């Protein structure tokens, strides 16, 4: 984005997620009053007399770290793994956990070799992990049912899903889970709109097969329904100017593009989508709600370790806590454990 120094080498990114706590077997549509204090209460012991929420939060922190069993946790495909580093801290005053995870590719044989090819290769077995440091921050305030998760990545190299999936497994052991949605500040959203371009459009239609026995039916096999997606590519229009030039955004592409297939009945037409790209980020949103997109946040060079491509822990802590403060204000969060 415009206010960031031009990236050199590997691009550091940050994904922020707003999470909503709920009981594990509860439907997402149901509005629950469950708060993180109830989740922390699941760590109360029968012998406890006077135990504060801070103590229960500390027990959750310990429970979370122990869930790794001093090992790397793998994803379901066995291709990525991560584990806590040695610099993880907790702040009971704000219910924050942050620090460095070590994670990366696993399950495949690799080798390390110097660029001039003068030294012998060192092998990385399929059971090893080619690990990088990833900064993270969890804010889980006890008095409400919402929080924020932040996970740093390198370009397309991420452990985002792995971190969230494992955290959900930890919550599930206590009968809870959470739903998440990406979030960024209004300023970063507007900057992306100003400096990005619309490069692709798509619309999706769902059809029900009539099994008429025609030539097209042969391509469908036994499918009772199928989807057809049409994409318009090679656009390069500034996002703000592009949507200002559309007279009726609510009208959408479906009024201009009519798709029909012999031997099939259209049963659903999804909202057309616009695909955006900036210098280092991409995102998409339905055209009728084209500002409701969430790109990854591109981080500045000043957040890297001096002379390295990896995140500087102290700089990331300051940056992410300030960013958390912005998100808390913009989302009108009312927790008494906001960052001051």
Q: Give the pLDDT confidence of 284-330 residue by residue, as tens digits.
A: 888 877 777 778 889 999 999 999 999 999 999 999 999 999 999 99
More confident residue, 254 or 82: 82
In angstroms, the CA 150 to CA 184 distance is 11
SS (H, E, C) 281-310: CEEEEEHHHCCCCCCCEECCHHHECCCCCC
As a whole-number percent, the residues of the chain with pLDDT over 70 amount to 90
Once rounded to an integer, what is the mean pLDDT over residues 193-213? 83
At residue 253, the pLDDT reads 61
As a whole-number percent, the residues of the chain with pLDDT over 90 amount to 57
Torsions phi, psi for 118 (to 5 deg): -100, -20
Which residue's entry shows tokens 């390069």? 236
Classify 45 as helix, strand or coil.
coil
1-11 tens-digit pLDDT: 444 444 468 99
Cβ(166)–Cβ(84) below 8 Å: no
Residues 6+ apart with CB under 8 A from 278: 1, 192, 195, 196, 197, 295, 298
Stated pTM of the model: 0.84
- What was the pLDDT predicted at 32? 64
More confident of the two residues 102 and 272: 102
Region 239-268 average pLDDT: 73
Structure-block tokens of residue 148? 């924020």
pLDDT at 139: 98
Q: Using only C-alpha atoms, what is the Rg of the chain?
A: 24
- Report the pLDDT averaged over residues 178-206: 89
Contacts of 160 (CB under 8 A, 6+ apart): 15, 151, 153
SS3 39: helix
Q: What is the pLDDT of residue 220?
A: 78
What distance in Å separates the CA atoms of residue 74 and residue 164, rounded to the nearest whole number?
Answer: 12
pLDDT at position 61 is 98
Task: Find the helix packing angle between 160-172 and 53-66, rounded to 10°.
Answer: 120
């Amino acid at each position: 984005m415009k206010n960031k120094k031009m990236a050199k080498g590997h691009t550091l990114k940050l994904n922020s997620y707003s999470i909503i706590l709920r009981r594990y077997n509860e439907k997402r549509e149901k509005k629950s009053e469950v708060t993180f204090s109830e989740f922390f209460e699941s760590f109360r012991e029968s012998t406890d007399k006077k135990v504060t929420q801070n103590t229960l939060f500390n027990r959750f922190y310990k429970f979370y770290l122990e869930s790794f069993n001093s090992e790397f946790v793998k994803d379901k495909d066995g291709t990525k793994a991560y584990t806590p580093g040695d610099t993880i801290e907790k702040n009971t005053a704000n219910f924050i956990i942050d620090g460095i995870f070590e994670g990366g590719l696993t399950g495949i044989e690799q080798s390390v070799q110097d660029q001039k090819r003068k030294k012998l290769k060192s092998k990385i077995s399929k059971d090893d992990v080619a690990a990088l440091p990833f900064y993270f921050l969890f804010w889980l305030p006890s008095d409400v049912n919402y929080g924020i998760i932040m996970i740093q990545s390198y370009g397309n190299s991420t452990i985002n899903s792995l971190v969230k999936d494992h955290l959900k497994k930890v919550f599930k052991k206590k009968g809870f889970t959470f739903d998440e949605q990406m979030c960024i500040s209004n300023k970063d959203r507007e900057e992306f709109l100003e400096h990005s371009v619309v490069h692709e459009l798509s619309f999706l239609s769902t059809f029900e097969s009539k099994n008429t026995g025609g030539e097209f039916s042969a391509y469908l096999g036994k499918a009772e329904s199928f989807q057809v997606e049409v994409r318009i590519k090679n656009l390069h229009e500034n996002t703000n100017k592009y949507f200002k030039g559309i007279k009726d955004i609510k009208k959408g592409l479906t009024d201009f593009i009519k798709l029909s297939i012999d031997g099939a009945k259209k049963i659903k037409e999804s909202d057309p989508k616009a695909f955006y790209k900036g210098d280092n980020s991409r995102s998409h949103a339905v055209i009728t709600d084209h500002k409701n997109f969430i790109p990854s946040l591109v981080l500045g060079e000043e957040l890297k370790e001096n002379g390295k491509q990896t995140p500087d822990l102290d700089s990331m802590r300051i940056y992410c806590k300030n960013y958390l403060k912005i998100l808390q204000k913009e989302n009108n969060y009312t927790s008494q454990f906001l960052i001051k």
